Amino acid sequence: CIDGVLGGEDYNHNNINQWTASIVEQSLAHLVKLGKAYKYIVTCAVVQRSAYGFHTASSCFWDTTSDGTCTVRWENRTMNCIVNVFAIAIVL
C-alpha cells in the first residue's frame, strides 16, 4: 500500500493528508479482506527526510497469544513513512 501511494513521489506537505488517508484506507481494506476475527487499528506517519531523523515507539497491554502488531518502515530519498497495524482478536 505504501509503495503504491508514495512510490515515485517526492515529499510535498500539501499531499500528506491525502497520502496518509489513502495508505490507511487501503491497508484496512486489505486486512478486512482476510476475513479474520480481528479489530484493526492502522496508523501512518509521513515525514520529510532530514538530518534529524525520525523515531517512534508504541506499547500495548493485551493478550500476546491472540493479539499482535506489525510496523513497516518505508523510505525514499525525500521522505520516511511508518505504518503501524494493531490487530486485536474478537472473542466470539
What pLDDT score was predicted for residue 52? Answer: 87
CATH code: domain of residue 68: 3.30.1140.40
| Total structural domains within the chain | 1
**What Rg do the C-alpha atoms of the chain give, in angstroms?**
15
Helix (H, G, I), strand (E, B) or coil at 33: helix
CA dist 22 and 36 (Å) reads 22
Helix (H, G, I), strand (E, B) or coil at 14: helix
Query: Looking at the predicted structure, is the pLDDT value of residue 91 above 90?
Result: no
Residue 67, all three cell numbers: 493479539
Q: Which residues pair with 83 in a beta bridge?
A: 44, 72
What pLDDT score was predicted for residue 21? Answer: 98
CA dist 72 and 92 (Å) reads 29
Residue 42, all three cell numbers: 492502522
- The reported pTM is 0.92
Strand extents, DSSP E, the chain: 38-48, 68-75, 79-89
Which residue range(s) make up the domain with 50? 1-89
- Mean pLDDT value of segment 15-44: 97
